[in-house]
Chain A
Amino acid sequence: MYFSSLSELIAMDGHGPFVWLAYGAALVVLLVNFVATRLAIRRQENALRWRAEAAAMHAQQSNRARERQGL
């Protein structure tokens, strides 16, 4: 490691606040993009799954109705 101790790494000869602010902002940007995309995909997949289930249920009901009518 370039620094001799952890506190030196955090302080960075007085530049610490600037460096950590920049890295913190980068972390926030990457996390927000990642999480927002993940959540939106999950929401869409759930909607599609729900639709498929509803369609299957509808098919089952109409099949039963057909059987009752002797078709």
Chain B
Amino acid sequence: MSGSIAAALKQLWHKLGSPRWFYHITQSWVRLFGVMALLLLVSGCIWGVAFAPADYQQGNSFRIMYVHVPAAMVSQSLYLGMGVAGFIGLVWRMKLADVAIAATLPLGITLTALALFSGSVWGRPTWGSWWEWDGRTVSTLVMLFLYLGIYALRGAIADADVRARAAALVSLVGTVNIPVIKYSVEWWNTLHQPASFSLTEKPTMPAEMWLPLLVMTLGLYCFAGHNVLSRMRLEILRREANTRWVSELYADPQAVPPKTNER
């Protein structure tokens, strides 16, 4: 039994190395993630903005949490995903690993920026300041610079192999920052409130407050799935443009095939 599972996993691993297989298998996933993201984000927003009760201390400004926490969580997960892809790319030289890193960067950068921005906007009414040099804020800023650094690095290196290896290495090394973000609220005595939400523990908030947060977080994960997979498929179409399977995807089926010299 375990042997057949191992064999199936091994087969999946080899298939994952094939851009063509990945392109076809993800077509339906992209659509599913897109629909789920739209439904969850729209309902989560309406729920969080208009129906959740106001916080007894922070009043209505706490509704920013429904944007801030999912953005922070997903941007960290995306970075972690890039680190894993970097590891796979360095160890097994899998082509798709660099595709994944390239496809994650734009969303990772913008979501980290959104986490910082929404945190700043939340900080003004609750902490009385737009910016605090707080442990979690600074480590998130470091993550933004890591994202931007990898983006710039990929833009600066012309050789595709060197570019892939450099981006994989920085992605992998930069993952040490993720636990720093996570434990920053415990290591340093700061203004930043501890995690309002965890996937493993029972929330301390009433359900009508954390349920919209759960919906928004799942919605943003679905959006990330949709966006990163779409960008990976685009990157595959670019890199594999000269292959037979891509040209067959876009060939007119009624076109006359070229005649050969065989008679």
Q: Which residues of A are at the interface with B, using a C-beta cutoff of 8 A?
A: 1-3, 9, 12-16, 18-19, 21-23, 25-26, 29-30, 32-34, 36-38, 40-41, 44-45, 47-49, 51-53, 55-56, 58-60, 62-63, 66, 71
Contacts and interface: CB of A to CB of B under 8 A. Distances in A.
Nearest to A20: B49
B16 interface: no
B63 interface: yes
Interface residues of B, number: 49
Chain A to chain B: the 10 pairs with minimum beta-carbon distance, closest first: A59-B258, A56-B255, A12-B60, A48-B250, A15-B61, A22-B118, A15-B60, A22-B64, A52-B251, A26-B67
Interface of B: 41, 45, 49-54, 59-61, 63-64, 67-68, 71, 106-107, 110-111, 113-114, 117-118, 121-122, 124-125, 223, 227, 230-231, 233-234, 237-238, 241, 246-247, 249-252, 255-259, 261
Contacts of B234: 37, 40-41, 44
Contacts of A44: 234, 237-238, 241
A45 B99 CA distance: 18
Max count, chain B CB within 10 A of own CB: residue among A2, A19, A62: A19
A32 B256 CA distance: 41
Contacts of B256: 56, 59-60, 63
Given A26-B71, A56-B256, A3 B247 contact: no
- Tell me the dominant secondary structure on chain B's binding face: helix
Contact of B106 (A14, A25, A33, A66): A33
Contacts of A36: 106
B250 A49 contact: yes
A26 B114 contact: yes
B125 A15 contact: yes
